[in-house]
Homo-oligomer: A and B are copies of this chain.
């Protein structure tokens, strides 16, 4: 699972940072979290194919988080997409997407499935779930927690050989959870696999001031991507507008026992983010200011 930051600036773009969008590559699937204006071009400049985006999760309907949707949707059609696109967002999402799809002259080449989500929802997909939490912003806004399902336990090769299972296809079948037969004997996966291991967990707060939902959703996560609109000097102002300082993001990461914290939604006022990162590192060492096009491999914990 790889994170590709596409837009790390807050409110409006700057020459250095585009507005909010984060791509997550999982196998051949790409998930997009938020889709600010210009996201399609950021995708084209990145290592991620814009045509591979399968699901889009919007945190809230401030322009810098969703105005890239109409252009991306239309360019996918112009490039003859057939595969369905799924878009999730808080209340009003379906209605808004319908409006967006009827802006100007546009002929869709593929279906778009729109889903309104609410805090507390658990979106179930084949290989992972996406939990929805309530952010504390000045309009309805949600937090998304992507959690991979349990994966098979570690394969005990010495044990398998000891039991007389020959190396090769039986190994991979057992590893994939299938029962195999060899020389009249039946071998079940539990004979050679350790206990199921947790998958990876990634939490994206969108725009929010500090709130309990973050630490609950982000408990033991591998990566927390948190609103960090300001450094400590403007924390009060940031909170007033429903945003967080980088120090507050770090406190959430620490409390949640996260492995890694990325600071994003950086205000265009900051040419230099040294202090902003420092404020966070003082509280939570593994903090990093995200930059446009930064890539990060989310590793399994063990």
Contact = CB atoms under 8 A, between A and B. Distances in A.
Contacts of A103: 61, 63, 67, 96, 99-100
Contact of A63 (B38, B41, B79, B106): B106
A66 interface: yes
A104 B15 CA distance: 25
Contacts of A153: none
A208 interface: no
Contacts of A100: 103
A125 interface: no
Interface string A26-53: 0000000000011011001100000000
Interface of A (DSSP majority class) = loop
Interface residues of A, number: 35
A210 interface: no
A170 interface: no
A67 to B, nearest CB: 5
A279 B217 CA distance: 60
A64 B68 CA distance: 12
